[in-house]
């Protein structure tokens, strides 16, 4: 009943061109394909860190009782992704400690005030 429809003249010409012939009768030129990257490989993006030492960063964050990613971003005048990198690096050095939060919305305090 339904079946396939008859192609229009323009679409038939396009399909002939894709098969390898040009409208002027010549052969279609082939181009070299780009090498595909493996699926598991991630692109590493470099972030611009503020030109402050850890102590200067900690001093600007220590005025806050609870430090979150967004409050740190606002206080340091950087984006949230850069603030997250800064906070995780300060945590790994032991200058701040994680005291709460869940699902990416964590809360830190300076290490001298931490409640454990």
Exposed (0-12), middle (13-18) or buried (19+): which is 98, by Cβ within 10 Å?
A: middle
Residue 103 covered by a domain: yes
Residue 11 covered by a domain: no
Distances from the Cα of 62 to the Cα of 3, 14, 22, 107, 110, angstroms: 73, 67, 70, 13, 6
CATH number at residue 66: 1.10.10.10
Looking at the whole model, is its pTM more than 0.85? no
Assign 52 a pLDDT band (cuts: 50, 70, 90).
confident
Residue 47 covered by a domain: no
Q: Does position 37 have pLDDT exceeding 70, yes or no?
A: no
- What range defines the domain where residue 58 resides? 54-110
Residue 28 covered by a domain: no
Residue 68 covered by a domain: yes
Number of domain units in the chain: 1
Residue 32 covered by a domain: no
What is the percent of the chain with per-residue pLDDT over 90, rounded to a whole number? Answer: 6
Question: Contact 71/64 with Cβ under 8 angstroms?
Answer: yes
d(Cα 27, Cα 29) in Å, to the nearest integer? Answer: 6
């Amino acid at each position: 009943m339904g079946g396939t429809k008859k192609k229009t003249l323009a679409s038939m010409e396009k399909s002939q061109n894709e098969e390898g012939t040009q409208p002027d009768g010549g052969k279609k030129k082939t181009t070299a394909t780009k090498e595909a990257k493996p699926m598991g490989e991630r692109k590493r993006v470099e972030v611009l860190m503020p030109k402050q030492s850890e102590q200067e960063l900690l001093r600007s964050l220590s005025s806050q009782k609870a430090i979150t990613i967004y409050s740190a971003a606002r206080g340091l005048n950087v984006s949230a992704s850069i603030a997250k990198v800064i906070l995780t690096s300060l945590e790994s050095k032991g200058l701040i400690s994680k005291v709460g939060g869940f699902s990416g919305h964590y809360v830190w305090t300076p290490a001298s005030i931490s409640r454990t």
